[in-house]
Chain A
Amino acid sequence: MVITAAPARESAPAHLPPGRRRTHLRRRTAINYALVAPALVLSIVIVVVPGILTLLFAFTDWSGVGFDVHFVGGKNFASILSDPVFATALTNNIKWLVMFLTLPAVIGLLTAMLLLRRKRLRTFYQVIYLMPYVLAPVVNALVWQTIIYNPHGGVAGLLGIQPPTGSTSTALYAAAAVDMWHYWGFLTVVYLGAIRQTPVDQVEAAIVDGAGGWGVFRNVYLPSIRPTLLLMGVMTVIFSFLAFDYVFLLTQGGPAHASEVMGTYAYAFAFSSFEFGKAAAVGIIMSFFGLLASVLYTWISRREIAR
């Protein structure tokens, strides 16, 4: 059985006469509308209108410049779905998702557990771990490109190996590595925050019952941070299908489309080919996966609440 608190009904002070109570209520309603209006207008202008326009443009041949637009039906989708580069991009997004759901999550959890035991310098470490996350992607990409992936003067050059960004078999992983490097510290801080919310009496009870470190983690901490894990998992799914910045900055989707993701694929249509209609169609497909993740999250959350 689910019990939720019903919102309190808006009411006027009881001591006022009926006429003044109505006036009071009207004034309150007016103030409420006025307060909600800016956020509502911004949401409509920035989210709803572009969203609807993107959906409409996905069925046109709009160039992105001017108003010369023709309805082309599902031609953009047919063209994209028959393009092998799209298949590569979608596959790469799925690989990206698998990598991000595992590696940074595991490293983040492990580090969070280690930090939990460390009383001194815990905050200092959190700040250090967060630094790559707060730096602009272009800075992180430049640092890696210059220091690690540089064939002359970088680590790759010193080792005498081809920088991984230059090979079709490793370019995607090279870009993902930089993105994961910037992301795992953030996960650590989020997971640590969630772990610290675990009731101490449960942890102590488990220890008293003879549970070891792994047992406490599996049976106490893990169930306790399950909602956080779930939320971050869903966010990771959404981010993975929106991946763009590190791929664009480090490999531009190359060589030979080897590291192409749907974001870079759409960008080329929009800003190189003047094919905004196709770019919008790719955007719709990308959003579809985000929507799936959101629906899944909502469904799981409801099940959690109902349990």
Chain B
Amino acid sequence: MRRMRLVTAAIGVASAVALALAGCSSGDAGGGGRQTLQLWFWGAPPQQQQTMKQVLIDGFNKSQSKYTLQVTFNNAVDKNVQVALSANKGPDIVYGSGPAFSAAYATQGKLADMTPYAQKYGWQDRLLPAMYQSGTVDGKLYSLPNSIEDIGVFYNKKVLAKLGAQPPKTYAELVSTMDKAVAAGMYASVTGNQGWKPVNQNYISLFLTQVAGGKKVYDALQGTIPWTDPSIEKAVQASADFYQKGYLGGKDYATLNFDQSVQLLSQGKAPFMLGPSLIFQFASNYFNDKNGTTDDLGWLPFPSVDAGRPYPYPTLGTTASLSINAASKNKDGAAAVIDYMMTDGFTKDMNKSWPGYWAVPLKNFDLDAASYTGLSKPFVTAMKDTIATVNKGNYGFFAGTFFPPATATAFTDIDSVWLGKESAADFLKKVQTTFAAEKAKGLVPPLPQPGA
């Protein structure tokens, strides 16, 4: 009787598990003999999704007959990818926040070694050395950036004219114009972190680059100097002074986002918007040929805070990274997609209608700005200049790209210093503790060494 009950219970449990698993299972769909490749991408606006469809999806699918690429757009892509990779599932091509996040997945064996594909396709010869190196872990390639970016100054030419100012060539000129704007009842500049707290990383990275310098940050990331080094503390304090003077969106920093900020810039509510070059993609909604406002927007690299530093001196970052899922059954196909994205033709086509996101880190970023319209023209020009500067070794590091995840998150909390809740010294002590733990785990991505 008891054995019968146990057998019955076991059958019941097995049936329930089978039902549950049947509900969870999924198949690999393929049409016309083609293998399906999956890419999960962030929830870009409809117009940009259309560009992605025409240039990437249709372009890739027509370029060969073995694979069909499918792209899924979702704003929670980072979290979804993290959960999927943990379960050895997810897309074939892994879109991530940058090399530092990819390194965290790579060390756990969730990403495929792309070195053989790099050799097959010649990626190392084709891409900027600093960008290629950033995607390696223990000498093996695990990710490639889709685009480089810099943190600079967007300005409204009409507002500057109204204020009787010129595009600032020095830090003193930038600050002077912002003071004039405030006196005229405007924002000094517009930007904000509403809805995405890691926006803070842009501004602390900017000051680390401009005040401490790329070499100091490189040394801190190598562990040869602590994050509590006086030069880094000075940079953190300088960022706090800048914020407290209202130069970062004033009191509305926490209630503005990039899109609203560009809109305010277009409405003449501020002379400047400080931020990453990817803002070009939001700016094209407000500064465009249709409204006849394209030429009202200007962009320049952030003026040197330290007079002894060369200009321009970019805060080098990447907008995202591309890797291959270790659990993918179509790694060759995934590599083919990434290779397709690392080409001159793809770069040229994507930038025609989607400026800001596709400065593919090609050594020879040979795009003819004159052949572009709208904001694609200034974006292409800006990125060509940035790549030329990076090739000279003059750059600092964007936290979201190059710092290990917990250290980058610790720097996201910089608003505690900006709002006077914590001193720069105490803040950096916490950063140092967090960084030391991550360094011990080997989570610091390899870094391209900048010039002194």
Contact = CB atoms under 8 A, between A and B. Distances in A.
Interface of A: 22, 26, 29-30, 33-34, 36-38, 40-42, 45, 61, 63-68, 145, 149-152, 156, 162-163, 165-168, 171, 251-257, 268, 271-275
B8 A41 contact: no
Contacts of B413: 256-257
B105 A65 contact: yes
B34 to A, nearest CB: 31
Task: Determine the main DSSP class of A at the interface with B.
Answer: loop
A29 B409 CA distance: 55
Given A29-B5, A34-B15, A151 B416 contact: no
B442 to A, nearest CB: 11
A271 B78 contact: yes
B418 A256 contact: yes
B180 to A, nearest CB: 22
Contact of B16 (A30, A42, A61, A256): A42
Contacts of B421: 168, 256-257
Nearest to B12: A37
Nearest to A26: B4
Residue in B12, B82, B408, B418 whose Cβ sees the most chain A Cβ within 10 Å: B12
A20 to B, nearest CB: 15
B226 interface: no
A83 to B, nearest CB: 9
Interface of B: 1, 4-5, 8-9, 11-13, 15-17, 19-20, 78-79, 82, 85-86, 104-105, 107-110, 193-198, 251-256, 260, 264, 405-406, 408-409, 412-413, 415-416, 418-419, 421-422, 434, 441
Contact of B197 (A34, A145, A165, A254): A254
A167 B250 CA distance: 12
**Leading 6 A-B pairs by shortest Cβ distance:** A66-B108, A37-B12, A273-B406, A166-B254, A30-B8, A41-B16
Contact of A45 (B20, B107, B109, B198): B20
A65 B82 contact: yes
Contact of B11 (A22, A34, A256, A271): A34
A36 B419 CA distance: 56
B104 A256 contact: no
A66 B106 CA distance: 10
Given A40-B13, A257-B416, 7 more contacts: A38-B15, A156-B255, A162-B252, A166-B252, A256-B415, A256-B416, A272-B405
B308 to A, nearest CB: 33
Residue in B8, B17, B413 whose Cβ sees the most chain A Cβ within 10 Å: B8
A272 B86 contact: no
Contacts of A30: 4-5, 8
Nearest to A67: B108
Contacts of B12: 33-34, 36-38
B10 to A, nearest CB: 9
Contacts of B9: 33, 37
B176 to A, nearest CB: 26
A302 B409 CA distance: 47
A11 to B, nearest CB: 16
B107 to A, nearest CB: 8
Contacts of A149: 255
Nearest to A41: B16
A166 B418 contact: no
Nearest to B418: A256
A41 B13 contact: yes
27 contacts: A26-B5, A30-B5, A33-B9, A37-B12, A38-B15, A40-B13, A41-B13, A64-B82, A65-B85, A66-B86, A68-B108, A151-B255, A162-B252, A165-B194, A166-B251, A252-B195, A255-B415, A256-B421, A257-B413, A257-B421, A271-B78, A271-B82, A272-B198, A272-B412, A273-B405, A273-B406, A274-B405
Contacts of A22: 1
A273 B409 contact: yes
Contact of B20 (A29, A41, A151): A41
Nearest to A34: B12
